[in-house]
């Protein structure tokens, strides 16, 4: 990270812009609040207990409480990435809604889980307008700060993904804990180290390994490798994807390594395995 600007509100960061040199990896914790994350330049791969989310330029995502690992990738030769974060504190959201039970809490259980928001002109314009306050943060007084936060929430609740946004806001007002097993299974095929997966699960590496063995009956390395190989075998049997694509979709980043590990388990190369399955 080489440049950060933060606008504080009541002693806490409310709006923040940051620039990164790609490639850049960051990890951290969102605790007792949520975060609206908008990419103005470059792309972000965000891993958390719910799995992987890719956010490209002029796209956004709502991040919930929990640990995360984020990787930033530039779109061109400049190697620059830039993002804007808006922090959503439950106490401020409740103040915006005047401490009344928001209408979105009255919806049914069939609301989809939060997902990224694709390019939206209103959100883009909102983010552009924030640049004024980053240059002159003293102009954002308490009343205006609440108005800007309310403006963003109204834009989001009227967007195409309003059901996903309402689901996330419901979780803010009534937090839902993601279980250990769900966190692991949501990241089986993602490019994460054991240390990073332990961090997402909010555990030390030793505690994570103990809990993993207790839950899955196997070490993380062996369990994840087995799951990835089984997934690859299924893709080779049921799809026409190239071997390199199968390897990547199954969590392997190197085709040669994938082929060697696959042959060790199935006594055939991925290509031979597909041909035999097809003939059978």
**200 and 87, same domain (yes or no):** no
Residues 234-243 pLDDT 10s = 999 988 899 9
**101 and 13, same domain (yes or no):** yes
**94 and 159, same domain (yes or no):** yes
Residues 175-209 pLDDT 10s = 444 578 888 988 999 988 999 999 998 899 999 99
**Residue 105 — very low, low, confident or very high, per pLDDT cuts 50/70/90?**
very low
**76 and 166, same domain (yes or no):** yes
Domain final residue, candidates 126, 152, 173: 173
Domain count, the chain: 2
pTM, 2 dp: 0.67
Q: Identify the CATH number of the domain in which residue 133 sits.
A: 2.60.120.10
**Residue 108 — very low, low, confident or very high, per pLDDT cuts 50/70/90?**
very low
Query: Domain containing 113: what range?
Result: 3-173
Look at residue 19 and tell me whether its pLDDT is greater than 80. yes
Integer Cα distance of 21 and 147 in angstroms: 33
The residue that leads in pLDDT, 86 or 99, is 86
In degrees rounded to 5, what are phi and psi of residue 19? -115, 145
User: Given the DSSP bridges, would you call strands 80-88 and 66-73 parallel, antiparallel or unpaired?
Assistant: unpaired
**166 and 237, same domain (yes or no):** no
Mean pLDDT of the chain: 83
**231 and 94, same domain (yes or no):** no
Specify the DSSP element, H or E, that contains 35.
Answer: strand 34-41
Residue keyed to tokens 């812009």: 17
Domain final residue, candidates 173, 205, 236: 173
**143 and 235, same domain (yes or no):** no
């Amino acid at each position: 990270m080489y440049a950060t600007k933060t606008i504080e509100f009541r002693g806490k960061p409310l709006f923040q812009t940051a620039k990164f040199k790609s490639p850049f990896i960051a990890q951290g914790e969102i605790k007792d609040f949520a975060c609206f994350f908008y990419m103005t330049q470059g792309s972000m791969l965000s891993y958390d207990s719910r799995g992987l989310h890719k956010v490209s330029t002029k796209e956004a995502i709502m991040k919930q409480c929990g640990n995360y690992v984020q990787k930033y990738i530039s779109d061109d030769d400049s190697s620059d990435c830039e993002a804007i974060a808006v922090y959503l504190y439950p106490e401020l959201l409740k103040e915006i809604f005047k401490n009344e039970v928001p209408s979105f809490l009255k919806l049914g259980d069939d609301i989809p889980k939060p997902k990224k928001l694709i390019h939206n002109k209103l959100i883009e314009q909102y983010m552009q307008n924030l640049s004024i306050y980053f240059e002159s943060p003293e102009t954002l007084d308490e009343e205006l700060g609440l108005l800007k936060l309310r403006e963003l929430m109204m834009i989001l609740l009227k967007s195409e993904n309003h059901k996903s946004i309402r689901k996330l806001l419901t979780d803010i007002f009534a937090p839902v804990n993601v279980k250990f097993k769900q966190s692991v299974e949501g990241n089986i095929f993602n490019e994460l180290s054991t240390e990073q997966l332990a961090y997402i699960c909010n555990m030390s590496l030793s505690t994570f390994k103990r809990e993993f063995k207790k839950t899955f009956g196997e070490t993380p390395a062996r369990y994840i490798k087995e799951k990835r190989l089984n997934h690859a075998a299924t893709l080779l049997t049921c799809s026409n994807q190239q071997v390199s694509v199968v390897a990547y979709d199954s969590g392997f980043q190197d085709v040669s390594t994938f082929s060697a590990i696959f042959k060790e388990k199935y006594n055939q190369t991925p290509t031979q395995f597909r041909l035999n399955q097809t003939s059978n």
